[in-house]
A and B are shown apart, each in its own frame.
Chain A
Amino acid sequence: MSAIIETHGLGRDFKVRDGLRRRTLVAVDDLTVRVEPGEAVGYIGANGAGKSTTIKMLTGILVPTRGEVHTCGLRPVPDRRQLARQVGVVFGQRTQLWWDLPVRESFRILAAIHALDAVEERARTDELVERLELAEFLGTPVRQLSLGQRMRAEVAAALLHSPRLVILDEPTIGLDVLSKQRLREFLVAERREHGTTLVLTTHDMGDVERLCDRILLVDRGSLVFEGTLTGLSATVGAERVVTVDLAEPLPDLVDVEATTHRGSEGGGLRQRLAFDPGATTAARVLAEVSRRAEVLDLTIEEPDVEDVVRRVYAARR
């Protein structure tokens, strides 16, 4: 089976005016990646690393300066319209819905654009409305939706034509915990049932952990890491930190399996333990601590993607 995304030495420059001089900004440089059908890939990197530019080249919006790119076996720029039938994209910062029309109307227009017949349109719309819980605001104009509602509607709009490849650019940006969770559950189910290939850029470690099999990390337009999250965490030593509040003080918990004691407060009433998510889980750490004393409260600090990225970048410079 051929790859769904394949690039060789892909690059894109922008001309930037810097006072009176013009200089060339290399947004993406020499990117060679391959994504197989059915994969879920997290495409991460700091702001300005070239993520969005890459997505725009993969979908035929931007013309590459150099290199080769094939998406769904097509050449994105010349085959743009053919490719658009097989790809669904959500740009978290932009809307593809018709701002002044009800959500339902946007779906109708998109169904026509993608040439769905009446039966397909009905079935798919119903499915998405149910899964993404859109029913309550289907008749509301898009400009009056909350951010969480709008994002769900955006995702539905991008997936209406059942694309083989779904690309999400910052899909959970600005969403509350519950909305994020619902969206992730939906994406997992969608992938399981339809075998959809998923590519997402995000700053949210939770997205990567819950949705992605594989990570591509870019820095200044170049690929600097390719592999699993566990592998990435291992490479940079990204840790999560559990803080537990205990019912009674304990001596420093230095011997909990696969953790490092990071400090105690209140004479041992509050303790902080760091662990590698590849080696153990928060649940296991909690179980182990609970055996020794009653746990009243806990918080988990996750390393965010920025943190991991910063570590990778720091290691490279």
Chain B
Amino acid sequence: MRHGTRVYRRLVVAGFRRQSTYRLAALGGLVANTTFGFLKVALLLAAVRAADGSLEGYDVGAVAAYVWVSQAMLGSVNLMGRNDLAERIRTGDVVVDFLRPVDVQGAFVATEVGRSLFTFLPRGLPTFTIGALVVGVPLAGGVAPVLGVLSVLLAITVSATTVFLVGVVGLWLVETRGVQLFYMIVSGFFAGLYLPIWFFPDWLVVAASATPFPSMLMYPTDILSGRVDTTGALGHLAAQVGWLVVTLVAGQLLVRAGRRRLEVQGG
């Protein structure tokens, strides 16, 4: 077990360091996250004011917190569906992953988590800081920040385990761009990227809750902004842990089923 954690720790560090080599991309991401943050905050504030200061329980402060927390997390959770695994299956480089005495899913997830953690430095924290300075972001106090950080960590992990599923489908399809596109459309919508999912009609909230996507963005945002109380926060955390387990198990099963399908010819 000690060996196990050492490997995955090392892989988290590897993902972190890999991401740190792409500084210009990080800067581009920061500019994009901040720009869209201002757009979103302007639109949503207008909507809240038009609704006499409160819309589905969101007031001005709650909207600002929602926008800047979610924009800050955006670089660290994968709502695009693009991932290394799909590419490695397509090119055959996945053979190298199978040559190592580690679990393929575990190695992928650890590397992705490392990458996400790094991204908070040049993208997440500055985006949040800019938003907080310009617009002002009221955050929840008490235990909420602790639970919120835990929820953010769970969010990036669930994002990695879910996107692994998109990649592993490549064992059947080889070309997974269609699946990635579908993931991109659905994930952003249900994660609460465009609007808080609580603005949706009830049936759509139920539909969103039946996917892992709110766990990647909406739930940590709710906890950090104080939209939910401690009980609500624990409920969100439980949902995140549940999705983590479901996606992990699904990934293991898919890899097992897909091993026979792996066809790497030549080289």
Q: Are A115 and B17 in contact (CB under 8 A)?
A: no
Interface string of A10-23 (1 = CB under 8 A from B): 00001100000000
Let me know if A225 is at the binding interface, CB within 8 A: no
Chain B residues lying within 8 Å of A259, measured Cβ to Cβ, are none
Residue A256 at the chain B interface, CB threshold 8 Å = no
Whether, in the assembled complex, A81 has its beta carbon less than 8 Å from a beta carbon of chain B, the answer is yes
In the complex, per-residue mask of B79-121: 1 if CB is within 8 Å of any chain A CB, else 0: 0000000000000110110111111000000000000000000
The stretch of B142-150, B245-253, B257-265 that contacts the partner chain: B257-265
- Distance in Å: Cβ of B16 to nearest Cβ of chain A: 11
Question: Is B49 at the interface (CB under 8 A from chain A)?
Answer: no
B95-A61 in contact (CB<8A): yes
The answer to whether B96 and A94 have CB atoms under 8 Å apart is yes
B259 surroundings in chain A (CB, below 8 A): 63, 77
B98 A114 Cβ-Cβ under 8 A? no
Is the beta-carbon distance between B95 and A56 smaller than 8 angstroms? Answer: yes
Please tell me which one of the listed residues B9, B102, B264 contacts residue A56 in the complex, with CB atoms under 8 A apart.
Answer: B264
- Indicate whether A93 reaches chain B with its CB closer than 8 angstroms: yes
Q: Which of B6-20 contact A (CB under 8 A)?
A: 6-7, 9-11, 14, 17-18
Residues of A within 8 A of B18 (CB): 98, 100-101
Within 8 A of A (CB), among B175-207: none
Asked whether A98 lies within 8 Å of B14 as measured between CB atoms, the reply is: yes
B265 contact from A27, A81, A85, A169, Cβ within 8 A:
A27
In chain A, positions 269-289 with a C-beta closer than 8 Å to chain B are none
Contact residues, A82-114 vs B (CB, 8 A): 82, 84-85, 87, 89, 91-96, 98, 100-101, 105, 108-109, 112-114
Is B141 on the interface with A (CB-CB < 8 A)? no
Residue pair B101, A53 in contact (C-beta under 8 Å)? no
B14 to chain A, nearest CB (A): 5
Contact among A60, A94, A108, A169 for B92, CB-based, below 8 A = A94
* B101 contact from A63, A84, A100, Cβ within 8 A: A84
A261 to chain B, nearest CB (A): 42
Looking at the complex, which one of A14, A59, A101, A112 makes contact with B99 (CB distance below 8 Å)? A59
Contacts of B10 in A (CB 8 A): 108-109, 112-113
Query: Chain B: which residue is nearest A112 at the CB level?
Result: B10
A181 at the interface (CB under 8 A from B): no
Q: Is the CB of B260 within 8 A of A63?
A: yes
Give Cα distance in the complex from A101 to B11, angstroms. 12
Asked if B7 contacts A94 (CB within 8 A), the reply is no
State A84–B98 Cα separation when bound (angstroms). 9
Please name the residue on chain B nearest to A96 by beta carbon: B96
User: Does B231 interact with chain A (Cβ within 8 Å)?
Assistant: no
- Kindly state the separation between the CA atoms of A62 and B99 in the bound complex, as whole angstroms: 11
CB distance from A169 to the nearest CB of B (A): 7
Chain B residues 153-179 with CB under 8 Å of chain A are none
Contact A80 B263, beta carbon cutoff 8 Å: no
Q: In the complex, are the beta carbons of B101 and A114 less than 8 A apart?
A: yes
User: Which bucket holds chain A's interface residue count?
Assistant: 35 or more
Most chain A CB within 10 A, of B22, B265, B266, is at B265
A14 to B92, CA, bound (A): 15
A81-B3 Cα distance, complex, nearest whole Å: 14
Q: Which single member of B101, B102, B264 contacts A62 (CB below 8 Å)?
A: B264
State in angstroms the CA–CA spacing of A61 and B14 once bound together. 24
* Closest chain A residue to B13, Cβ basis: A109
A93 to B264, CA, bound (A): 13
In the complex, are the beta carbons of B264 and A61 less than 8 A apart?
A: yes
CB–CB A96/B99 < 8 A: yes
Q: Are A112 and B95 in contact (CB under 8 A)?
A: no
A95-B96, A169-B267 known; A63 and B102 CB under 8 Å?
no
Chain A residues contacting B262 (CB-CB under 8 Å) are 61-63
B14 proximity list for chain A (CB < 8 A): 98, 101, 105, 109
A100–B21 CB distance below 8 A: yes
A237 within 8 A of B: no
Shortest beta-carbon distance from B97 to chain A in Å: 9
In the assembled complex, which residues on chain B have CB atoms less than 8 Å from the CB atom of A112? 6-7, 9-11
Partner of A115, one of B7, B260, B266: B7
User: Which residue of chain B has its CB nearest to the CB of A84?
Assistant: B101
Nearest CB to that of A143 among chain B residues? B21
Given A52-B267, A56-B264, A94-B95, A113:B100 Cβ within 8 A:
yes
Quick one: which of B6, B101, B265, B267 contacts A94, CB cutoff 8 A? B267
Smallest beta-carbon distance A286→chain B, Å: 39
Nearest A residue (CB) for B266: A52
Identify 5 residue pairs between A and B in the complex whose beta-carbon atoms are under 8 Å apart, listed by A's number. A61-B264, A84-B101, A95-B96, A96-B99, A113-B100
Query: Nearest 4 A-B pairs (CB), nearest first?
Result: A112-B10, A93-B267, A84-B101, A81-B101
In the complex, besides A94-B93, A96-B99, A113-B101, 13 extra interface pairs with C-beta distance below 8 angstroms are A14-B265, A52-B266, A60-B98, A77-B259, A84-B99, A84-B100, A91-B96, A94-B92, A98-B14, A98-B18, A105-B14, A115-B6, A141-B21
